[in-house]
Structure 1
Amino acid sequence: METSASRPVAARVPMVFAVAVFVVALDQITKYFAESQLTGRAPIPVLGSFLQLRLLYNPGAAFSIGAGATWIFTIITAVAVVVLIWFAVKPSSLVQATALSLLLGGAVTHLLDRLFREPGFARGHVVDFIDYNGWFVGNVADIALFCGAVLLLIPALFGGEAKAERTED
């Protein structure tokens, strides 16, 4: 019986793109919800003030850094999407494939925001609506990006990648 860890890399490509498409769809649906339900409203507590729903439009990167250079983030994100696709179609393990698919989905949905949202093409603002105790406000794509990065780091930090490669050989 063939396990998911022993499947050939080509068999994982549809999974990578399916997860990425799921992330894009979930992120865009939740942003639609946020815009339709939170526009003009005070923050809505989910877990008191620790977790709230608050609609913001972010022209910059994380923490609104570089708000005046939105077009630069558009270019960087487009390059990141191409690089992620290149790596995602040839992952070395199932963990890496999953991590790359989460990163790809998060990057694509941020690119879509930059390209097609107000104030205009390649200058669009990212819709953020999950407020984490006032520390930062993010969205589903940010959660996917964070989880993907953690999944890439865990094997590197704890030697799991080498074990995964040995299992697949």
Structure 2
Amino acid sequence: MQRAGGATLSEDTHPDTAVADQERAPERRRGLMVAYFLIAAFVIGLDQLTKALAVNHLDPSEPVRLLGGLVHLSLTRNPGAAFSLATDYTWVLAIIATGVVGFLILLGRKIVYPAWAIALGLVLGGAAGNLIDRVLRAPSVPSAWFEGGLGGFFTESNIGMGHVVDFISVFRPHGQAFPIFNLADSALVCGVILIVLLELTGHGFSPASRRADRSEEER
């Protein structure tokens, strides 16, 4: 069946189908937004749980050897970014992480594809997991608060200067073969890799970007 001008009238362009899709769009977006935040919450919860277990049960001087030495649990405190980068700019990293988390939270309302909910959920969870460490772990707010009371909190607070708990070291202990990391770092990297793959394979974030990619391919 054809429309005027010779174009095929497929299911995607049928008026009744288009109206139905438009009516289901808000519900679909809400579902994807919920899934997005649930993925991020799961990453944050698992990250903080494993960090708490590492802090309570690992001795920094005695790494735990797993999988025949493929992985070592080697506790350390990292003032830098993922994989111990930029260790001298902790407060700058905290500001950047806060901006990224805020942007990703707002972006959640615009997700229309499940793959992007997964990818961005991993990125949000990873960024938020490490941001929690920068805000709540020493030498950030708790140390200033408990050591100097409210006066110390307002005058000597190291807010945003908390050190991130890292404990996964691959191949050799103490990050001798590769920088030590945590589950938040892993989720963040996996999310970014998935985003790159989606973009490279023409599965853009928005329907408009996908239509543009298809138009380029047809030329």
Q: 1:41: Cα distance to partner?
A: 4.2
Instruction: Find the aligned partners of 1:86 and 1:13 in 2 and give their Cα distance.
Output: 10
Q: CA-atom RMSD, angstroms? A: 2.1
2:92 matches 1:67: no
Aligned position for 1:146: 189
The AA in structure 2 aligned to 1:125 is H
Aligned position for 1:97: 117
Higher strand share: 1
TM-score (norm 1): 0.86
Q: 1:123: Cα distance to partner?
A: 0.3
Instruction: Find the aligned partners of 2:47 and 2:84 in 1 and give their Cα distance.
Output: 19
Structure 1 residues 142-151 or 62-71, which shifts more? 62-71
Secondary structure in 2 matching 1:136 = coil
- Bigger Rg, structure 1 or 2: 2
Q: 1:40: Cα distance to partner?
A: 4.0
TM-score (norm 2): 0.68
Counterpart among 46, 56, 61 of residue 76 in structure 2: 56
Aligned position for 2:108: 88
2:79 matches 1:36: no
Q: Which runs of 5+ in 1 are unaligned?
A: 1-5
The AA in structure 1 aligned to 2:181 is G
Structure 1 residues 70-79 or 130-139, which shifts more? 130-139
Instruction: Find the aligned partners of 1:64 and 1:127 in 2 and give their Cα distance.
Output: 11
C-alpha contact 2:32 2:113 (8 A) present in aligned 1: no
Q: Give the structure, 1 or 2, with the largest relative contact order (CA under 8 Å, sep 6 or more).
A: 1
Instruction: Find the aligned partners of 1:107 and 1:65 in 2 and give their Cα distance.
Output: 15
Q: Which runs of 5+ in 2 are unaligned?
A: 1-24, 141-158, 172-176, 212-219
Instruction: Find the aligned partners of 1:140 and 1:67 in 2 and give their Cα distance.
Output: 19
Identical positions, percent: 39
2:162 matches 1:124: yes
2:175 matches 1:155: no
Aligned residues, how many? Answer: 161
The AA in structure 2 aligned to 1:13 is M
The AA in structure 1 aligned to 2:180 is V
Counterpart among 13, 17, 21 of residue 33 in structure 2: 13
Instruction: Find the aligned partners of 2:74 and 2:81 in 1 and give their Cα distance.
Output: 18
Instruction: Find the aligned partners of 1:71 and 1:15 in 2 and give their Cα distance.
Output: 31
Secondary structure in 2 matching 1:146 = helix
Q: 1:27: Cα distance to partner?
A: 0.3
Q: 1:68: Cα distance to partner?
A: 2.0
CA shift in 2, pair 1:61/1:20, >3 Å: same
